[in-house]
Structure 1
Amino acid sequence: MSQGVDPTRRALLRGRFRPQAKVLPLPWALPWTQFSAGCTRCDGCIKACPEQIIVRGEGGFPTLDFTRGECTFCGQCVDACNEPLFLPRTLSPWSLKAHIGSGCLAFGKVFCQSCQDACELRAIRFRPVAGGIPTPSIEPADCTGCGACVAGCPTQAITVADPREERP
């Protein structure tokens, strides 16, 4: 009746399992397969980012960490790159959008509007609930995927991802 050992379960039980972080593309970056094939991992984009949200990710490739702040779309990461890995800055920087998960305090009947306060474009709105706590919703047309709401969320209930990709 031996079923073998699941190494991910064992790692989880020992506290060593870390789910693989989703790689968030830099603004205006080519699709990941092209970007990762051409990126020299020189850290030029990391050093150039005034918001310090570009970090070394899996394999040393640059990725975004919105827990550190938001992307202002300044384009300094693009300018710092010596490789042809970015689209023209006249195009949309990406298709990323914010998503509010079930860990949101408002969904747990606790008043919090930190994400709305962090969103300069007011893409996050709170709908009144009769006799209850207002609940958040994101207006996709207004959301730039900048990540300001991620750093502002006390429960880390907000993720930024491409809405065309499946969420966990």
Structure 2
Amino acid sequence: MRPPWSLDEARFTDLCTRCMDCEQYCPEGIVARGSAGFPEVDFAQGGCTFCGDCVTRCLPGALSVGAMAELPPWDLNLEFTAACLARGGVVCRTCADRCVARAIRFQPHSGGAFLPMLDSGRCTGCGACRAACPVDAVHLYRNPGPDRRGSADQLKRNG
């Protein structure tokens, strides 16, 4: 997963020089060198606060400053895997406790612990729930479908 406000993958890899300024200036420490040396977000390290420091430090423009006001940082979905402790009958609400947007709630489940439910309309995709989960049962993934990021030229034309 690329840092927030990344352009579409082809345009991102064309523009990104792999300087890793985005990593150096990420106060949360969630940007790291990934495959082929390009920056990726590692939510196991923590959540994104959407401060924008990675974007403003990206001089080549692979992370779009123009998109910050127009688009959410990324289009992510979240799912709770079978490893979720609550699904196994163990009381755990760590993910909800870390969710600043209050997108995760626990609903009663007959015969067991309350189960996590996601309000996708509230979820920002910050990843704090993923980082907090003691059993790695929160999975964040890109929303399938057309990439809404576009190129910097497309953003200028549309904006």
TM-score by length of 2: 0.85
Which structure features the higher share of strand residues? 2
Which structure has the larger Rg over C-alpha atoms? 1
> Which consecutive unaligned segments of at least 5 residues does structure 2 have?
146-159
User: C-alpha displacement at 1:99, in angstroms?
Assistant: 1.6
Deviates more, 1:111-120 or 1:96-105: 96-105
Partner residue in 1 for 2:63: 86
What corresponds to 2:77 in structure 1? 97
Counterpart in the other structure of 2:156: none
Aligned ranges 1:54-69 → 2 under 5 Å: 54-69=31-46
| Residue equivalent to 1:124 | 104
Q: SS in structure 2 opposite 1:127? A: strand
| Residues 32-86 of structure 1, C-alpha deviations (whole Å, 9 max, x = no match) | 1110121110011000100010000011100001111110000000011111223
| TM-score under structure 1 length normalisation | 0.81
1:138 aligns with 2:118: yes
Cα deviation for residue 102 of structure 1 reads 1.1
Query: In 2, distance between residues paired with 1:104 and 1:132?
Result: 13
Give the secondary-structure state (helix, strand or coil) at the position aligned to 2:117.
strand
Q: Which has the higher contact order (CA 8 A, sep 6+)?
A: 2
Q: Is the contact made by 1:110 and 1:133 (CA closer than 8 Å) also made in structure 2?
A: yes
**Consecutive aligned runs of 4 or more in structure 1 exceeding 4 Å deviation:** none
Q: Give yes or no for the alignment of 1:40 onto 2:17.
A: yes
Structure 1 unaligned segments of length 5 or more: list them: 1-23
SS of the aligned residue for 1:133 comes to strand
- Alignment partner, residue 28 of structure 2: 51
Q: How many residues align?
A: 142
**Matches of 2:108 and 2:86 in 1, distance apart?**
11
When the two chains are superposed, the root-mean-square deviation of aligned CA atoms in Å is 1.2
Paired position in structure 2 for 1:21: none
